[in-house]
Structure 1
Amino acid sequence: MTTTPGAAAPTATGTASTAVAESKKATVDYESFLKLLTAQLRNQDPLAPMDATQFMTQLAQLSTVEQSMRSNDTLGQVLDTLKSSGMRMDMALLGRKVEVESDQLSLSEGKAQAAYTVDGTPASVKLEVLNGAGAVVYGTSGSLQPGRQVFDWTGKTSAGATAPDGLYTLRVTAKDKDGKALTAATVITDTVAEVRSVDGATKFVLKNGATVGSDAVLSAS
């Protein structure tokens, strides 16, 4: 897995420390229960010994505590295995082209492309390209046809200047005939440059510099 300085990736030391702490806590609970039961038997009144039914109930409780500890250990191992397996599957996308749901538009040598879809029948569609500061540098009308539409940008701004290469944001605003806003989704295609694990979740860093979660990946080729 490719790592990048500053990424909030979990460390093996931190994971191991947590597991040890949890194991110690469970052991303390189990040993405390056992000591309490032993002390109760040692200090009971010989003339009024513990009721057999009560004693069997406490033994059953002790057995339940032990089984719970073992179950927790087993579940922890299964979870670790699943996480490891999932990361290996995500690593398989490294270097491959993926189609992801993202509004991050990459301009390189006068070329930028994205696709978008509108949920419903639009009466108006406005496409705007925003720079890193959030300012609109280019705007145009989008297609009113249903289904997936492609947006190509040459890097020319609305003022006629040439925008520098880099990462921009594509904003799609669609409304129906009654002026009600319609949901729009934007899709880009790029190559996975890095795979990171951030707080237990997989993040893909695309070649254009955008970072998306694994749930944003729609397809791969």
Structure 2
Amino acid sequence: MEPISATTTPTTPTQASRGFAASPGSDFNTFLRMLTVQMQNQDPLNPLNATDFAVQLATFSGVEQQVQTNQMLSGLAAQFSLMGMAQLSGWVGQEARTKSDVWYDGAPVLLAPDPAPGADNAVLTVTDATGRLVSRETVPLDGRSYAWLGADATGNPLPEGRYQLRLESRLGDEVLRTDPIPAYAVIEEARRDGDQITLLLKGGISVSADDVTALRKP
């Protein structure tokens, strides 16, 4: 091996620290080897300053701790993920209250109407999957649960399918506001899509777990 001349440009502390900091997840053993080689190849006429050496050692220690912390956080995240799915398994089979569309299969659909303050009447509007208005019916203003029986405007049962339910809060003939109306549906499956939890309701209707406002046993 050829001897290193006195004119060889040493690796500066800034270059070493920058090279490693650019990739925080790198193997910190590589950084330690860099320091060792740097000390061996110092310019005898311009040796490494003790303060700079201390800074490099502090940087090495900080990066090592960061790598270990990241590994620990990754382990905790995996544990929380499994715990979350275990908890969600208890949701399957329960009824979730959401403002999504509903699936009508002949059984009454339980609604939770919430008319606007000041309204003197409230109307439930029912739209089918094609966007056609199929029913309008008056609902109580007291906020109690209301069972939608799935009938059209003439009182005949509607066919099985997906429907959108909305509540018109009215003052006389004026519509104060129109809102999706919360309804209960059975949860058939819980899925994790990345960081999101998706629930599959009866009829294949999917909603985010964040959109569930209440749970209850059937």
TM-score, normalised to structure 2's length?
0.75
User: CA–CA distance in 2 between the matches of 1:182 and 1:36?
Assistant: 68
Q: Which residue of 1 aligns with 2:214?
A: 218
What is the match of residue 39 of structure 1? 37
**Structure 1 residue 38, shift from structure 2 partner:** 3.0
Decide whether aligned partners of structure 1 residues 36 and 113 sit closer, same or farther in structure 2, where only a CA change above 3 A counts. same
TM-aligned CA deviation for residue 166 of structure 1: 1.4
AA matched with 1:207: K
Q: 1:82-133 CA distances to partner (integer Å, 9 max, x unpaired)?
A: 11101100011222x3231234223223644422113423234231111112
* Deviation by residue 1:61-101 (Cα, 9 ceiling, x = unmatched): 00100100000110111111111101100011222x32312
Does 1:98 find its partner at 2:95? yes
User: Offset of 1:137 from its aligned partner?
Assistant: 1.1
Task: Give the alignment partner of residue 165 of structure 1, picking from 143, 160, 165.
Answer: 160
Which residue is 2:124 aligned to? 127
1:209 pairs, out of 185, 195, 204, with 204
Aligned positions of 1:15-30 closer than 5 A = 26=24, 28=26, 30=28
3-state DSSP of counterpart to 2:119: coil
CA contact 1:106–1:168 (8 Å) conserved in 2: yes
Pick the aligned partner of 1:71 from 61, 69, 72.
Answer: 69
Alignment partner of 1:189 is 2:157: no
Larger deviation: 204-213 or 127-136?
A: 204-213
1:51 Cα deviation after fit: 1.3
In structure 1, give the amino acid aligned to 2:146: V
- Report the equivalent of 1:147: 143
% identical aligned pairs = 25
- 1:118 aligned counterpart, secondary structure: coil
Please report how far the alpha carbon of residue 218 of structure 1 lies from its aligned counterpart in structure 2 after TM superposition: 0.8
Q: Secondary structure at the match of 2:43?
A: coil
Looking at CA atoms only, which structure, 1 or 2, has the larger radius of gyration? 2
List alignment gaps of at least 5 residues for structure 2: 1-22
Structure 1 stretches of 5 or more lacking a match? 1-24
Q: Closer, same or farther in 2 for the Cα pair 1:136/1:214, shift >3 Å?
A: same
Tell me which residue corresponds to 1:174.
169
Displacement, 1:217?
Answer: 4.7
Shift of 1:29: 5.9
Give the secondary-structure state (helix, strand or coil) at the position aligned to 1:28. Answer: coil
RMSD: 2.8
Q: Deviations over 1:197-219 (max 9, x none)?
A: 22332222123332222221512
CA distance in 2, matches of 1:93, 1:87: 10
1:193 positional shift: 1.5
Give the drift of 1:162.
4.5
Q: Answer whether contact 2:166 2:180 (CA < 8 A) is retained.
A: no
1:106 is matched by which residue type in structure 2? W
Opposite residue 55 of structure 1, the aligned amino acid is F
Asked if 2 retains the 8 angstrom alpha-carbon contact of 1:114 and 1:150, the reply is yes
